Amino acid sequence: MLAPLGLKPVVQPAFNYFPLDCRIAQKKKFEEMVGSGTDSLVIFTSPRSVAHGLTQLPQNLLFQARVAAIGPATAKALGDAGIRVTITPRTGYTSEALLETLSEETPNRIAQASRAFIIAAPGGRKKLLDGLARQGWKVRLIKVYKPEPADLDKQALSALKEASGVLSVWTSANAMKGLSHRLPPATWFQLCQGDWLVISERLRRLSRAYGPERIHLCAGPGNRDLLNSIRGLV
């Protein structure tokens, strides 16, 4: 998609992702899911949670419970797998946006709900977990994959040294934090001298701590949104 713009993309993943078998590692929580009723809520937090979670989770639950997706890419992954998504955030694609949407439900419906299951990675979505608990849900975090730092592509990063300008595109706070610690100092300094494009207001707030000269907010998280924003910047 970027090729027609005459740009040279440099892709540096911050993490590789590996499956976790919740049926073994979280046997008790998995059994809770198996025994939960039709008033339960299953929340998928990313396309990765769909890819790693669908093969593990009780299939009858996915077709009986309400299913929530944190954003459009996650909802599409579920839809492609034949899972009906009944809840998406009305605005945005963050934990806060989903919590706000759920808070609009009647108190009786939340009070009667048996459980909410968040499908995510270890240590992820704590704000969502805490927020659901405050709303009255009996919430469990189901860990179906784990991140590990990806190797640096030294050949690709060395190409940045000759670039006359660099636009960094950030779609994850974890990626931002991880690469800020692991990239060579000269490379990180070079990135901070250029423009940054982020996909959410939350990322824009976080990115200010790193001191880039110019931070731009994308209209959405999808590839088409990113392409349109990049086209406007170049």
Q: What is the pLDDT of residues 179-216, one digit of tens each?
A: 999 999 999 999 999 999 999 888 999 999 999 989 99
Instruction: Judge: domain 3-14+152-233, CATH 3.40.1390.10.
Output: no
Mean pLDDT of the chain: 90
Return the amino acid letter for 149: P
The sign one gets for the Cα dihedral 103, 101, 108, 82 is negative
Give mean pLDDT, residues 161-177. 91
CB atoms within 10 A of CB 222: 16
How far apart are the two ends of the chain, measured CA to CA in Å?
Answer: 14
**pLDDT value at 109 more than 90:** no
**pLDDT value at 107 more than 70:** no
Give mean pLDDT, residues 126-151. 92
Architecture of domain 21-143: 3-Layer(aba) Sandwich (3.40)
Give the pLDDT of residue 234.
85
Q: Indicate the DSSP class of residue 160.
A: G
For residue 26 the two structure tokens come to 């979280």
Give the pLDDT of residue 221.
83
Cβ–Cβ < 8 Å for 53, 23: no
Cβ–Cβ < 8 Å for 63, 213: no
| Residue % of the chain over a pLDDT of 70 | 97
- Chain region(s) in the chain for CATH 3.40.50.10090: 3-14+152-233, 21-143
Give mean pLDDT, residues 5-10. 90
List CB contacts of 51: < 8 A, sequence separation 6 or more.
77, 145
| Residue % of the chain over a pLDDT of 90 | 65
